[in-house]
Structure formats: C-alpha cells, structure tokens
Amino acid sequence: MSIDGILMIAWYAAQPWLWLIAVLCIALVLSLWLGRHRHGPTYFGLWPLSVMVGVLAMLLAPALTNSQLRYVATWPDLLLLAVIGISAMLYTWLLCKNWLRQGN
Amino acid sequence: MNQVPSLPLRRKLLLSLAAGATLASPAGLLAKPLYSKARIVILGAGAAGTAMANRLRRSLPSASITLIGARAQHHYQPGYTMIASGLWSPQKVLSNTGQWLSKGIDWLPEDVAVIDPLQQQLNLTNQQQIGYDLLVVATGCQLNYHQIDGFKPELIGQHGIGSVYAGPDGAKATSEQIDALITQGEGRALFTLSDTPIKCAGAPLKMTFTTLSRLEKSGQREQFQLDFFSPYHNRVFAVPTYNDFVLKRWQEQQVGFYDQRRLTGLDASAKRAWFQHSDGTIQQEDYDFIHVVPPMSASDVIRQSDLVWQNGSFANDWLEVDQYSLQHRRYPNVFGVGDVIGTPFGKTAASVKMQAPVAETNILAYLSGQPLTARYNGYTSCPLITSIGRAILSEFGYEGKLMPSFSFIDPTEESWLVWLMKEQMLQPAYNAMLHGKV
C-alpha cells in the first residue's frame, strides 16, 4: 500500500475522533500556558504518576477495542501497545508538570 | 456471436475526445482527467458502483455519469459480522447513498429491469428507457435463499436460524439467536457453507469463531456442540494456507467438521436440516441454532441478459468479464466491478478497492482507443477473525497467491493489531474507497 493511501486512510480514521484530539490538545495548551509561571522542582510523584497512567492505558487498550491483553502477541502488537503506553505517559507528564511542583 | 457495437461506438467516442487528452495513470493512482462526451451508466449503487461513479466523475469531467440503484441506504457490509457477533449495532453500518456521491453524478433511485447490450439500452423498473455509450455493471450478489427447501429470509431471527448475509437487521437477529442459544445452556449449533461463489468467503468461518468466543466467555463451552458443514472436500476456504489453519484450529477447539455436504432444506419449526452428500445421499441433522449461507449469483437481470457467462463454471450465474482487464469479453463497452463479476476471486470490499482503479484506467484507455493495460490480479483481503479480539490478515489473489500489503504483518499470525484494523480502520478505508480516494 502506498504512503499516500495509508495517510488518506489515517485521515478518514481520525475524522470521528477529531473532537477528542482537539479536547486533548486544548487541555494541554491551557495547562502549559496557565502554569507557565509556576517554578520550582517538580514533585517527585510526577514520574510514577505518568508511568501509572501509561501502564493503565496499556492495560485498558485491548479491552477498549473488544479484545484482551492475552491476544497482544506479535511484535507489531507489542510495539503498538508500547506506543500507546508511552504516549499516555508523556501526555500525563506534560499536562501535570507545571502543577506538580514543590513549593507551589 | 451477435453483432458487437464496439467499433462504431469507439470511433464515435474517439471523435469526441480532445486531441491533447492524456491517458490515465497506472492502476492504483488517481487517473488524470480526460475529455469525453460519453454517456456512462453505472448499474448498482453499492460499494463498487459508488466508487466507480466518483472516480469516473473526476476523471471524465465532461461525460454524463448516471448511477442507477434503488437502495436509498448504503450498507457497510464488512460490518455485518461485527453486528452478528454482538459487537456493533446495525446503525453503525448504515448511511445514505446520496451522501457518498459527488456533484455531477445523476443518481436514479430505480432498479434496472432489462439490459439490451446490442442496442445499448436499459429498461428501468419505472418503465424509463436509458441509452448508454459505456456501461459499468456493479449490481452485486443476489442471495438465493429460495434454493434451500423450506427456507425463507423471514425465518432469520426465529427458530434458531441466523444468516450474517441478510442485511444489518438479519445480522442483528442472528446475534440474538446466538444469545438465545447461549441462554438455553446447552445445544447444538450448525454452520453451513454454500457451493457457489460467495461474497466475503471468510464470513461463515468468522461466525463460527466468534460464536465459539461467545460460548467460551459464557463459561459453558463444554455444554455445546458446534459442527461445520462444507460442500467441498476437506475445504472451507480456497487458499490452502488459511484452510489448513482453520481446520486445525477447529480440531483443537472440538468443532465437528463434515465435508462434502450441502444444505438442501430445513424444517424451521422442527429445527431440522437436510444435507446432500456428494454421493447423493441425504443426511438429516437436528440443531438448536443454524447459520445459513445461501447460494449466491449475480442478480436475475444480469442472469437473464446476454452479459452473463455463456459457458464454464460461471455460466448463467455471473457477469462475463476478462478476469484481468474487467472488460466484458463480448461487449467491449461493458465493464464489471465488484461481487457481480465471474472471476476466481474478488467478492469483498477490498477487492473493489483494487478493481475500481483498474476498471477506471481501462475505461479511459477504451474511450481513448488505447490498449487496456491495467490488470486486476485477483487481490482480495479478509481480516479473518479467529476469536473476538484477534484476527489474521489474509490477503491473496489469483491462484491463491499470498499478497501481504504490510511487510511487518505476518499473513499467517493471529494478531490484536489486525483485529484493530478490522474494528477501527477498515470502515475509514472503505469510506475513502467510496469517495474514490484510495
């Protein structure tokens, strides 16, 4: 399948979820903007929290798609699950980093 | 053979072509526009007809494009198995036919009653007559439930009878019958296969696998006997790789397999079915649930026209086209796309995705008086659901040759990713295909 074809299908697949993507982007931008003046070292719990959210996303992803964790078997399955977990972890970290600072 | 209208028509059409017209790009890419005043009629407003109408509207901006098909609702048929497996609602596969059509396509919400390829004329069910210069036949499959004694489509959803092919409501009723079987706590489920070419040949297998999943989830698998009846010898699927996989898996899952048995009749109220063995003997089987796969053919209007295959294994049942160019073998100004065509493979939406650009390219070549160079290789694809939650991406073409699209997906390995493609990505890909974008 051509790259053009894959991108076109990805665009069609994303369309029903544009509202969610927009909500997540707005939440992130607002969080970074409103918290930009907050300084100080980040709360030590930020990383464990981000990792927990990432792991939770990995555990829930198969169930949310009418599947089961035990069916995640091939290396592309594992890679996809890892991408989901890392994305959720990074998003959580970026969303919370300005609000979980010591001394604020 | 009767007089073929191709040559005079060709000359006439060539006169209407602009001198500098450029020919379409190879299949798979979007064709470049061509100037032509041809009257193009597309029969069938399903996936193949809609995709062809949108493609030809774009590539032939000056031509008249008429789409004939009475169904006001468009059905995303690959979703039927998801409905019949209790995962989707029927609404998820329904949309309006009109919403998929580009501006400039004349849609006549009628059915064709008579096709006269010699006179290049169509009679519609509303008595209207329409002439054409070029005809695209995309009328899909006809479900011949009446060929099973004692069976009527109205029985689906009653007396333990299901059939995934019977539309969104029929698929939902099938799921409800499977639920009723599970609630019963014990029983026997039969799954059948037709001896004709069928659309989405993986669907009967998927229904068996997803019913097994539901029974396993209920914790009562041991209380139920599942049996699959195939008219073929030791075969449920045309490609040996997948056939062997399915039969081996069913053996592990204790699904009974009875080959060379064709469903010939049933008594709904007695929950009893009759199968004809290849030696002619009739075998009676009782059931609590039966999944019926009807014999299929092109629609009667095609079968009664001169467009049908005259001999060979597709004779009197399917549209006669060259399996590579998709051009009719006797009427060069007729092309076929989708389930209606009599080719060894190619009765899935994925097939249409590959056929539509080939047919488009060859139609433009035909109108330009050029040789038809685009070739359909028989590609078809089926995310073969092996449990609710995982699937195999089976992709193959003529002679059963495996044709994987993605190098990183093993075409013989069960995968969550492939399930995700079926559940989340296939419908967007289908929608893009309807718009003629892929």
Chain A residues inside the 8 Å CB shell of B431: 12
Please tell me which residue, A104 or B118, carries the higher pLDDT value.
Answer: B118
pLDDT tens digits along B214-227: 999 999 999 999 99
- State the Cα–Cα distance between residues B166 and B174, nearest whole angstrom: 9
- How close B402 comes to chain A (CA, Å)? 15
Residue A68 touches partner B, C-beta closer than 8 Å: yes
Residue A78 touches partner B, C-beta closer than 8 Å: no
Q: What is the DSSP letter of A42?
A: B
Closest CA to B259 of B283, B279, B287, B234: B234
Please tell me which residue, B285 or B20, carries the higher pLDDT value.
Answer: B285
Q: What is the DSSP letter of B343?
A: S
Chain A residues inside the 8 Å CB shell of B414: 71, 73-74
Does the pLDDT of residue B32 top 90, yes or no? no
- How close A81 comes to chain B (CA, Å)? 9
The answer to whether the CB atoms of A9 and B417 lie below 8 A apart is no
Please list, in sequence order, all residues whose beta carbon lies within 8 angstroms of the beta carbon of residue B403, skipping any fewer than 6 positions away.
B377, B379, B395, B396, B397
Q: Chain B residue closest to A81 (CA)?
A: B417
Contact B171/B159 with Cβ under 8 angstroms? no
Q: At A80, is the pLDDT very low, low, confident or very high (cuts 50, 70, 90)?
A: very high
Residue B95 touches partner A, C-beta closer than 8 Å: no
| Interface probe with B: pick from A6, A12, A79, most Cβ of B within 10 Å | A12
Our CA angle for B314, B318, B319, nearest 5°, is: 120
When pLDDT is averaged across residues B40-60 and rounded to a whole number, the result is 98
> B 398-437 residues with CB below 8 A of A?
405-406, 408-410, 413-417, 419-420, 423-425, 428-429, 431-432, 437
Read off the pTM.
0.91
- How close B423 comes to chain A (CA, Å)? 8
pLDDT tens digits along B181-239: 999 999 999 999 999 999 999 999 999 999 999 999 999 999 999 999 999 999 999 99
CATH code assigned to B6-70+109-140+299-368: 3.50.50.60
Would you kindly state where each structural domain of chain A is located, as residue ranges?
A: 3-96
What is the reported pLDDT for B21? Answer: 38
Residue A72 touches partner B, C-beta closer than 8 Å: yes
Residue A80 touches partner B, C-beta closer than 8 Å: yes
Residue type, B106: D
Q: Write the residue in A12, A74, A80 that is nearest to B428 by C-beta.
A: A12
- Tokens standing for B329? 């073998």
The answer to whether the CB atoms of A9 and B387 lie below 8 A apart is no
- State the Cα–Cα distance between residues A96 and A47, nearest whole angstrom: 10
- State the Cα–Cα distance between residues B82 and B77, nearest whole angstrom: 10
Q: If DSSP codes are grouped into helix, strand and coil, which group holds residue B159?
A: coil
- How close A65 comes to chain B (CA, Å)? 7
Q: Chain A residue closest to B429 (CA)?
A: A9
pLDDT tens digits along A47-68: 999 999 999 999 999 999 999 9
Q: Chain B residue closest to A69 (CA)?
A: B416
Q: What is the DSSP letter of B4?
A: P
The answer to whether the CB atoms of A74 and B389 lie below 8 A apart is no
- Residue ranges with strand state E in A3-55: none
Phi-psi region of B104 (alpha: psi -120 to 50; beta: other; left: phi over 0): left
Q: Which CATH class is domain B146-296?
A: alpha beta
* DSSP, residue by residue, B76-129: -GGGHHHHHTTSS-GGGGEEEGGGGPPTTEEEE---EEEEETTTTEEEETTS-E
Residue A2 touches partner B, C-beta closer than 8 Å: yes
CATH 3.50.50.60 positions along chain B are 6-70+109-140+299-368, 146-296
Q: Write the residue in B28, B413, B438 that is nearest to A74 by C-beta.
A: B413
Closest CA to B185 of B289, B272, B292: B289
Please list, in sequence order, all residues whose beta carbon lies within 8 angstroms of the beta carbon of residue A17, skipping any fewer than 6 positions away.
none
What is the reported pLDDT for A103? Answer: 62
The answer to whether the CB atoms of B416 and A73 lie below 8 A apart is yes
- State the Cα–Cα distance between residues A8 and A25, nearest whole angstrom: 22
Contact B414/A77 with Cβ under 8 angstroms? no
When pLDDT is averaged across residues B95-117 and rounded to a whole number, the result is 98
Closest CA to B160 of B61, B323, B271: B271
Please list, in sequence order, all residues whose beta carbon lies within 8 angstroms of the beta carbon of residue A37, skipping any fewer than 6 positions away.
none
Weakest-pLDDT range from B34-38, B138-142, B160-164, B307-311: B34-38
Residue B28 touches partner A, C-beta closer than 8 Å: yes
Query: Strands B296-298, B141-143: parallel, antiparallel or unpaired by DSSP?
Result: antiparallel
Q: What is the mean pLDDT of chain A?
A: 93
Task: Tell me how many residue pairs between chain A and chain B have CB atoms under 8 A apart.
Answer: 75
Our CA angle for A52, A54, A59, nearest 5°, is: 90
What's the Cα-to-Cα distance from A27 to each of A60, A91, A95, rounded to whole Å?
22, 10, 8
Please tell me which residue, B269 or B31, carries the higher pLDDT value.
Answer: B269
What is the reported pLDDT for B436? Answer: 93
Chain B residues inside the 8 Å CB shell of A73: 390, 413-416
Cα dihedral sign for B286, B291, B297, B298? positive
| Interface probe with B: pick from A1, A70, A74, most Cβ of B within 10 Å | A74
End-to-end CA distance of chain A: 52
What is the reported pLDDT for B31? Answer: 66
Q: How many CA atoms lie within 13 A of A47 on its CB side?
A: 3
Please tell me which residue, B28 or B420, carries the higher pLDDT value.
Answer: B420
Chain B residues inside the 8 Å CB shell of A5: 438
- State the Cα–Cα distance between residues B358 and B187, nearest whole angstrom: 48
Residue A3 touches partner B, C-beta closer than 8 Å: no
Q: For residue B210, which phi and psi values (nearest 5 degrees)?
A: -70, -30
Contact B135/B169 with Cβ under 8 angstroms? no
Residue B30 touches partner A, C-beta closer than 8 Å: no
